[in-house]
Amino acid sequence: MGNPFISAYVQSDWFGKGIFWGLFLLSILSWTVLIHKTWIYFHVRRASRSFAAQFSEKDPFALQFQKPISGKIPHPYFEIYKTLKSHVLQLLSRNHFYAVLSDSDLGLIEAQAQSAIASAMKRLEKNLFILSTVVTLAPFLGLLGTVWGILLTFSQLQAKGLAGSNTAMLSGLALALATTVLGLVVAIPALVGFNYLKNACREYRRDMEDFSHLMLTSVDLHYRKPIDAEKSAAPN
């Protein structure tokens, strides 16, 4: 007994074969994106844990850290740290006599941290739309094959009648059923992978926000301008 999908493909016409190839290409694209993004998330989380373990609240900007992985893999913790360190040092350099930061300075630094998080999320979620597109498109392609196969079946019945039309009818029904199954087989892993990766993105965003809050708290404790100094600096 041969493979039913191969038999349905061989017996189908050029349009049916095109539907098979479309589903096959969607499957390859879906699995490529899914495996690649899962691999990226694994390395990003491992690098983030390593970076967070080296960070010290007692001296937030004493960490001499070089980006350890290639530019193809994002390192959001490093980008957040680099952004905050750059802006804090820039603001401190403006205060020539006092290494302190005002409330407005801290608000600006927090805004920069949120911008760095948004930029990291944009890069992490890149190409996830492909999975959602496959989830929607694959069942429709399968449905198109179903309708086309049934249409071929009735067309053969009308042209040849009941006599001598069994082979054509069976090939049309095989096309209809095979494309339906393949459409679901392609869409289901894409749906599971898309939901998993989106949930992983949400969880990692919370991790980035926690890390940025840790850095902001440390900066606040070390460099916030004392209230007495703010009052004395205010004009009478």
Q: Which of 5-14, 131-140, 196-205 has the lowest mean pLDDT?
A: 5-14
State the SS3 of the chain: CCCHHHHHHHHCCHHHHHHHHHHHHHHHHHHHHHHHHHHHHHHHHHHHHHHHHHCCCCCCCCCCCCCCCCCCCCCHHHHHHHHHHHHHHHHHHHCCCCCCECHHHHHHHHHHHHHHHHHHHHHHCCCHHHHHHHHHHHHHHHHHHHHHHHHHHHHHHHHHCCCCCHHHHHHHHHHHHHHHHHHHHHHHHHHHHHHHHHHHHHHHHHHHHHHHHHHHHHHHHHHECCHHHHHHHCCC
Q: Is residue 68 part of a domain?
A: yes
Regarding predicted confidence, which is higher, 202 or 56?
202
Per-residue pLDDT, averaged over 59-68, amounts to 58
- Within a domain: 47: yes
Render pLDDT for 225-234 as a digit per residue (tens, 0 to 9).
Answer: 665 444 444 4
Instruction: Quote the mean pLDDT of the chain.
Output: 81
Look at residue 105 and tell me if it is in a domain: no
| Structural domain includes residue 211 | yes
Domain total in the chain: 1
pTM: 0.79
Tell me whether residue 113 is in a domain. Answer: no
Residue with tokens 């691999």: 39
Range of the domain at 27: 4-55+63-76+126-222
Q: Would residue 91 count as lying in a domain? A: no
Q: Determine, yes or no, domain membership for 202.
A: yes
Cβ-based neighbours of 194, under 8 Å, separated by 6 or more: 128, 131, 132, 135
Q: How many residues appear in the chain?
A: 236
Residue 88 domain flag = no
CA-to-CA distance for 126 and 85, rounded, in angstroms?
26
Q: What is the pLDDT of residue 13?
A: 84
pLDDT at 59: 65
pLDDT tens-digit map of 174-222: 888 889 999 999 999 999 999 999 999 999 999 999 988 888 888 887 7
